[in-house]
Amino acid sequence: MAEAHRDLIVVGASAGGVEALRTLVAGLPAELPATVAVVLHMPAGGASALPAILDRSGPLPAVFARSGMPLTPGQVCVAPPDHHLLVVEDRFALSHGPTENGHRPAVDALFRSAAIAGGPRVTCVVLSGVLDDGVAGAVAVRARGGLVVVQSPADALHPGMPENVLRHVRADRVLPAAELGAALAELARERVAPSSAPPTPPQVEQEDRIVRDWRGIVGDTHMIGEASGYTCPDCNGVLNEVHPGTLRFRCQIGHAWSVEALAQAQGDAFEKALWTALRTLEEKVRLSERMLENARARGDGRQAARYQGRLEESVRAVDVLRGFLLARGEPVPEEGVASGDQLG
């Protein structure tokens, strides 16, 4: 049986992840016998200086990954903004496929593709971040015989991602970021037998195909999973539960959501709707005031009474809704509320 070693390290991070990544790569040796692939959740627009930052932080060269780029030991390859970074056989691929938990690039997409391509050759690393990104990908890596390494939650600026992975997956190492480089170098030299890897779970293969071959999947009538009764925050389509009991969802377009990310997105949509409603009510107050003034100027007492009632009703609604939002401690959106200073 042919042997190999753990020559593929895939790293995922989100909020607070830049400092953790810098510390990790600083601890990697120049002769690392593995390729390092990195996904940092970031906004889709704009440029990223992450390769330059990591290139200066440690002995390994760091570059943006490109489609078709071979896996090269001793190199750090970073997902570019607005593209999923995937591993296909022994090369990288970039995809503009559906977002996962609202992100592109997404940690889970990288981990899942690496698990399929590398099996026990893969070590996934989960660093600082919020919510439960990385859990599904770490489960896929473990299912294929790979290793799971997690930054100590106490060491992470945002411990949500490490804590959630530890709740669902047995980790092979849980270490502060400063100790991860040396541990990964040690693990990379371990011998493994790729042919002995357990088979890839069917739903993992299907989710990888959705992201990798997304142009041919959109509109596919063979939806993954069963209808959940929830709505996709990205496109308002029906979400299917990927696999019974997993609490992971995909819509027909392909957008993927974990249960925590879905709840967060629903909460954000709810808050946005409330602020929009408040702004609309405040505009109704101003319009009612003008209509009342106009009716009084015309001497139309009947219409003035009608507009006075409408004005008082709208002011009461504004007071109730604004009081509810402020009691929740929600900040006023950047675009502001039309007359917030006048009616507070």
Question: Any idea which residues carry the catalytic annotation?
Answer: 14, 41, 133
Q: Using the Cα atoms of residue 131, residue 134, residue 139 and residue 140 in order, give the sign of their dihedral.
A: positive
Pick left, alpha or beta for residue 153 (phi over 0 → left; psi -120 to 50 → alpha; otherwise beta). Answer: alpha
CA torsion 218→221→226→232, rounded to 10°? 30
Measured CA to CA, the distance from residue 58 to residue 330 in angstroms comes to 41
Is 192 within 8 Å of 10 (Cβ atoms)?
A: no
**Structure tokens given for 49:** 């200086």
Nearest to 100 by CA among 203, 248, 206, 246: 248
Main-chain dihedrals φ then ψ at residue 13, nearest 5 degrees: -150, 160
Phi, psi (degrees; rounded to nearest 5) at 333: -55, 155
Distance between CA atoms of residues 306 and 130, nearest Å = 51
- Separation CA 147–CA 171 (nearest Å): 7
